[in-house]
Amino acid sequence: MRILVTGSSGFIGSHLVEALHAAGHDVAGFDLAESADIRDATAVARHLKDVDAVCHQAAMVGLGVDVFDLPGYASVNVLGTSVLLAEMARAGVGRLVLASSMVVYGEGAYTCEVHGLVRPGPRLRADLEAGLFEPGCPVCRRPLEPGVVPEDAPLDPRNVYADTKLAQEHLAASWARMTGGQVVALRYHNVYGPRMPRDTPYAGVAAIFRSSLARGEAPQVYEDGRQRRDFVHVTDVARANVLALDPEAVPGAYNIASGVPHTIKEMADALSRACGGPEPVVTGAFRLGDVRHIVASPARARDALGFTACMSFEDGMSAFAAEPVITP
């Protein structure tokens, strides 16, 4: 097949291009680094010629720094996706693999010993300032036991990036209903690996920690470091996209995760060991909009797409620590 990859020069997109070539596909790249703006309908239409499917990776990423980021996120992620979908309809391209994110869930799954499965609301600044990082039961305030999130969990975005990723899913679903197209939305968890950009304000935490270590500085771990995440290697994410392009792949949303959660402190410790120190420092600082725990079940992706992550946490972090730091 001929596949258009938006964001083809980016962190995930560049790995996806390599994986698609290795799988025997013909790849067309589309990237802002090559003066191709996803909001430019003429440029999008030109790149869609003779394309069989699209892997849409282009996006403004990160949680957002402040309220003034709202127009940028909405423009690139929402308007840009709308332009792409309209031009796909015009070109008769009927298959889309969308790079979504686990951030659409908001907080992960929690269980109260009295009230069962519950959805805690956003954490309050006063609680975070007091060092009360774990969300309590929204009914009785008892401590909660975190669990894993399935794809049919309620969606509850809690920052501007999450808002726009959910908007992309909704727009793609509308496109599919109106055109008869098919969408596979891959909800990436914490992606890391080679070519990850350095510590810009919009970078992932793994990149920020690694950049600190490269400068000989201790990684600064927010809250108490016990936040649980699922770190999935970029080569596994690229492979998931290739599997999602299979004509037999069932449309819908899929968690793309390793299935083996780790805390932020464990990740910082692993990178620190691989770099020979210094050891991470737990600061107690926080960011409003961050969630406490978000760990998902990868069972649906395994059963329906045949996807299972191959890179172990230990091997992936050791290799990541040895990679050169990329300046965006």
How far apart (Å, rounded) are the C-alpha atoms in residues 57 and 252?
A: 17
Q: Residue 207 carries which DSSP code?
A: H
Q: Residue 195 carries which DSSP code?
A: T
Q: How many helices (H) and strands (E) does the chain have?
A: 11, 15
Q: Residue 307 carries which DSSP code?
A: -
272-205-245-158 Cα dihedral, nearest 10 degrees = 150
Q: Residue 301 carries which DSSP code?
A: I
Phi first, then psi: give them for residue 27, nearest 5 degrees: -120, 130
Token digits of residue 323: 């990679």
- Catalytic positions, written as ranges: 161
Biggest distance spanned by C-alpha atoms of the chain: 58
Tell me the chain's radius of gyration from C-alpha atoms.
20
Rounded to 5°, angle at Cα 185 from 63 and 100: 10
In contact, 62 and 287? CB cutoff 8 Å: no
Token digits of residue 239: 């492979």
How far apart (Å, rounded) are the C-alpha atoms in residues 259 and 81?
A: 29
- The CA–CA distances, whole Å, from 191 to 148, 256, 328 equal 18, 9, 17
Q: Residue 44 carries which DSSP code?
A: H
Q: Which helix (H) or strand (E) holds 110?
A: strand 110-112
